[in-house]
Structure formats: C-alpha cells, structure tokens
Amino acid sequence: MANDCFARSPRCHAPDTALDPAPGPARPPVPVADPAAWLAADLAGDPGWVHRLDGHEVHELDRAVEVVLSRGLGPGGFGRDDFPLTHLADRIAGWARDLDQGRGVVLVKGLDPARYDDDALAALYWGLAVHLGEPVPQNADGDLIGRVRDTGRDYGAKNVRGYTTRAEMRAHCDAADVVGLLCRHPAMRGGESRIASGIAIYNHLAAERPDLIAPLLEGFHFDLRGEGVTDDPDETTFHRVPVFSWFEGRLSCRYNGKTIEDGMTKRGMALTGLALEAVREVGRLALEPPFRFDMTFEKGDIQLLCNHSILHARGGFEDWPEARAPARPVAALAEPARRTGRWRRRSPIG
C-alpha cells in the first residue's frame, strides 16, 4: 500500500492570503447541503465513484511510461507535458471535478502492477500525479516518493509518522488537497482503509451536538512532529487551525486528533473539557456507523480522497516477510493545477 498526497508542503505555516472568511457559519449551526456529505450507505448504494481503466487507457499509460523512461526521466524529473495522455487526460480532469465538487472520493481500478517493474510503476504513478497537479515534497526531508510499509517504528513514540509503522491509524486528513493511495500488493493481513465524510460529521454535530461546534471552529495548534521551519521537535503551527471552516460558501474540514492533542500539549495548552470532547467526538464518529465506509484494496487500486471533506483511517496490518515481499508501492505529493471550489481553501499548515 502507498499513500500519495496532492497538496502543498506541510512545512507551510502562514495563513493563505486567498482565504475568505465570509460567509461564515450559521448561528446556531445548521446542517449544510453538499455532495460530499455522504453516509456509508450512499457509497455502497451508488458505485459512480468507482472508475475502471479500459484497455485503451492502460495502453495510453504504457506509451507515456515508455516515453519518459526512454528519455531517462523518472519521478521528480518530468511534468505533465512530458507524460503524453489524450483521452485519459480528460478522464483525469473528471476525477478532479469529482474530488473537488462531488463526493470527494474516487477509486480507480483496472491497473495490473505486476506488468511493471519498480521504475515503470513509479513513472506511471508520477505521471498520474502531474496530470492532477504539481508534485511537492512528501515530508520535511524533501522526499517526493514515499512508501507505506512497516519500518519497525513505534507510532506512539514522539514525532513518528504513522505511515512508517504497522499501527492502526485513527481518522484524519492530511495537509493536502488530495490524498491518494496506490496498492501494489495488499498487506499479508489487515490494513483496510476506512473513510468518512467530515461534512456529514459536521451536519450530525450541528443537529445533535451544536455545543461542540464552537471549539472546532476556533481551532487548535497542530503538532508539526519536528518537521516545521525551525527544526524544533516541539514546534507547532503558529496559528490555530480550525477543524471546520468556510471558503466561498463551502465547508471544509481539517482534522487530525493525534496532532491536535499533541500540539496543544506541546503548546502548554493541553485540551480539557468541551474542547477535548469535541476533538475526540469527531474521531469517534468517523470510525462508527453510519459514517464509516470500509474499503479492502485489490492489487492496482488507486484511491483518491479530497482532504478538505474526507477523513481517512487505516487498520493495523502485518506486512509480508521481506524475502517474500513484492516491490513496495510508491507515493508523492502534489498541488492541484485546477483550483476551483474547495481546493482553493487552505489551512495554515496545508
């Protein structure tokens, strides 16, 4: 499995000057109408978010991979114009619209990773990324390609990134516009993807627990896990980052319960009372019916999620023994080239 984010670097702290605070939330808060406010039953009952590549589209990808590899180019060394796509480029633009203006969820099927060696699969995945946006670093080390695997690290240890461990990961959004995951080979056991609509969770809270909305709108200092601009292992975001906020009349969600709680503790402002309840309630709802939708990946599946509306989590997993493991999946970060609607909404750390 591998994760892939299409957004700007998590190093960014300053509030985006393009942010428009109006119109703000209704008082008292009321549920909002949005295509991304789905429940698990909605996805289960309508497979329109699942897209299968046909033979012609796979051939397009193969030809584009041949072009860049024949020029000695690999991930980080080529852009959209270097990876020629025709019909598939139009379809990718449709995925982008679905992510930004629709459900915020796309699953691409029909790719056989066994047909590609490591270099070819990395080039293919990078090519899809540059057609969705502009790649940027995965982490503070500047990695443009990353791998989700069990490195033996302890997720409970200070400043450890979850994707480097085998641990269960709680519901969160990444500091990105879109997060993607390519499955080259499923884990030996576990590792299921769990997703939920942050917009639907807001609607539930607005109707059932409106008292929790205010602290979520005020926001929190997020832990930067030692990857901030100062290199201080206890650095947090300079500004409070709201869990829910509006841009051009559309609601956005920015949530990571672990980095919120760790960040506020590092700031000397450990959460208590209603604020702590609000943060934990968002995470709890995301992993329970009717919000949680479970996905088990097959080889070649590519999952794309809009980080401004969708929360994702992962079950703990057991990796294949190294001697039996196939080549690991790849990952990248990018900032969408087509910024409309929710994708223009920026949090101070993403």
Q: Is the pLDDT of residue 271 over 50?
A: yes
Q: What residue ranges do the domains of the chain occupy?
A: 2-344
Q: What pLDDT shows up at residue 273? A: 98
Of 119, 114, 115, 109, the closest CA to residue 78 belongs to 119
Contact 316, 166 (CB under 8 A): yes
Contact 287, 196 (CB under 8 A): yes
Q: What pLDDT shows up at residue 152? A: 60
> Which distant-in-sequence residues (6+ apart) come within 8 Å of 248 by Cβ?
20, 341, 344, 345
Over residues 221-259, the pLDDT tens digits come to 999 988 888 888 999 999 999 999 998 889 999 999 999
Question: Cβ atoms within 10 A of the Cβ of 231, count?
Answer: 10
Instruction: Tell me the β-bridge partners of 304.
Output: 106, 180
Over residues 158-202, the pLDDT tens digits come to 544 545 555 667 999 987 788 888 888 776 665 688 999 999 999
Going by pLDDT thresholds of 50, 70 and 90, the confidence category of residue 322 is low
Question: What does the block give as tokens for 282?
Answer: 């968002």
> Which distant-in-sequence residues (6+ apart) come within 8 Å of 78 by Cβ?
68, 71, 126, 127, 130
Decide yes or no: CATH 3.60.130.10 for domain 2-344. Answer: yes
Over residues 298-309, the pLDDT tens digits come to 899 999 999 999
Question: Cα–Cα–Cα angle for 209, 213, 218, nearest 5°?
Answer: 160
Torsion of CA 102, 106, 110, 114, to 10 degrees: 160
Q: Is the pLDDT of residue 68 over 60?
A: yes
Pick the residue with more confidence: 122 or 71? 71
Q: Is the pLDDT of residue 132 over 60?
A: yes
What percent of the chain has pLDDT above 70? 71
Question: What does the block give as tokens for 8?
Answer: 């700007």
> Which distant-in-sequence residues (6+ apart) come within 8 Å of 345 by Cβ?
19, 245, 247, 248, 250, 252, 308
Question: Cβ atoms within 10 A of the Cβ of 58, count?
Answer: 16
